[in-house]
Every structure is written in C-alpha cells, then in structure tokens.
Amino acid sequence: MKTIIEGVEITPAIAEILKKWFIFNPNIEDSYPEYYVTELSDMQDYFCRKLDEDPEELQTIKVMLLFIIALKDDFKQLIPKKGGDDETQA
C-alpha cells in the first residue's frame, strides 16, 4: 500500500522518521523538528556574525546561510501547531 499526500509518497522509512520525531517526544517543544529549528537558528546567527569577520570566506558563508535558512523553514513546517486543526487531529 502506498501513502501519497499531496503528491508526495510517504515511504516506510519516512514514516519511521516521523514516528521517531513525534512518538518519542509528545511535547511539541521537545520534538526533533523544534530542536533542529533552534540549532539551525543558532548556526544562522553564528554565520551572520562571521560575515563581518572573514571576508575571504564570504561567498561560502552566504551559500551555507541559504541552506540553513531553507532547512530551518522546512523543519518549521514539520512542527504541528499547538491544538492542531480538525484535519490533523487523530
């Protein structure tokens, strides 16, 4: 059986990751996506400070920041809203 949500197939491997993220951490604040967002925000802040300190590495730092911001935004989408909505409630 295939599970496809909005054109994206949820494989058994993806389902196991989601289960790990949310079953073992019932509090949204303690979930892996929340942790990753916090860590990525800290990295983003660090690299932003480095922009002024290390001009030779400017382009590399900019690319790293773009990846960090994209990852952080994606992980934010994986964090359920407190209270949820009717469609996501089990």
**Using one digit for the tens of pLDDT, what is the confidence trace for 30-75?**
778 888 888 889 988 988 888 777 777 888 888 888 989 998 888 8
Q: Which of 47, 39, 45 is nearest to 64 (CA)?
A: 47
Could you tell me the pLDDT band of residue 87, with boundaries at 50, 70 and 90? very low
CB neighbour class for 28 (10 Å; exposed up to 12, middle 13-18, buried from 19):
middle
Output the pLDDT for position 10: 85
pTM for the predicted model, two decimal places = 0.61
* CA-only gyration radius of the chain, Å: 17
Top-confidence range, 12-16, 29-33, 78-82: 12-16
Q: Which residue has the higher pLDDT, 57 or 80?
A: 57
Output the pLDDT for position 11: 84
Output the pLDDT for position 88: 40
